Each structure stands twice: as structure tokens, then as C-alpha cells.
Structure 1
């Protein structure tokens, strides 16, 4: 399962594992496999390169929570200071 957000603005920035903090017009992609392992990636709108969000393995206990977790992450990442 893959969820890709609508465009959101992160004025305070989002930490990535590969390049540090990125900010501006961003897009979040979450992918959940059949075992509940959740992968989080972020990119600048229109860019081809996706970056991972730091942290250990993320796992959902119920695959039906994927959409809710995705929307919640977008709301947290897009909130102003």
C-alpha cells in the first residue's frame, strides 16, 4: 500500500536521513508492506529524489491504520511553529 500526500509547506523544515533538514513545498510518501512495516519518504515537489525520514523500523499493528497514520504525519509536518 502506498499513500502520497497532497502538497504541503514545511516552513520549519523536516529532518531527512540523507541530507539533513529540507523545507518548503514538500510531498510525503508512506508505504506499508503486508507485514506492517512502514517506510516514510519525503521530496521537494516536482523532484525525482526521495529522502527517508530518520528512525528505526516503523511498524503498524493493523494495516488499516496506514491511511490515518499518513494523514497524521502530513498534519504534523505541515504545522506552523
Structure 2
């Protein structure tokens, strides 16, 4: 299982399943297994409690795309 992590600032916030919108300095962590199943989690940078992004069943056609998808997600979530 591959894991990627990025820290970014979300000035307009990011919706989470557990607590609604969070904003500020956040960390996105994505995991992708060998079958392409993608797990998306987010937290306040440096915090211990992780939240999930809405939706489920995220699956990549090719697990090798994980790095690119992670970078795209982090970029989109950081947009002003």
C-alpha cells in the first residue's frame, strides 16, 4: 500500500464527513492499495485526529496513478 501526504493552506475550507468544513493549514493523506482502492484523509497540520473526505469507493483504474491523483487533489483543495 502506497501513502502520500501533502501540507497546504485551505483558505475556503475542505468538507469532511465527520465535522463539516475545516480550514487553515491542513494535511492531506492518501493511501492506495494494489487494487487501486483509494483512501482520502485530512487533518489540521500537526493534529492527531484524522477526518475523511466525503464519498466512498474511490478506486483508481491503475494504482500507478496514485501520485498524480494525490497532487491534483492537494492542488484543488488549496485553491483560493
Where on the TM-score scale, by shorter chain, does this alignment land: which range? over 0.9
Q: Which residue of 2 aligns with 1:19?
A: 19
CA deviations 1:34-53 (Å, max 9, x no partner) are: 11100000000110011000
What RMSD, in angstroms, separates the aligned Cα atoms of the two structures?
Answer: 0.6
Q: Which residue of 1 aligns with 2:38?
A: 38
Instruction: Give the count of matched residue pairs.
Output: 79
Q: Which runs of 5+ in 1 are unaligned?
A: none
Q: Which residue of 2 aligns with 1:68?
A: 68
Counterparts of 2:20 and 2:49 in 1: how far apart (Å)? Answer: 14
Shift of 1:56: 2.3
CA deviations 1:6-44 (Å, max 9, x no partner) are: x21001000000010000000000000111100000000
Q: Which residue of 2 aligns with 1:2?
A: 3
When normalised by structure 2's length, the TM-score is: 0.96
Counterparts of 1:12 and 1:57 in 2: how far apart (Å)? Answer: 26
When normalised by structure 1's length, the TM-score is: 0.95
Structure 1 consecutive aligned stretches of length 4 or more whose deviation exceeds 3 Å: none
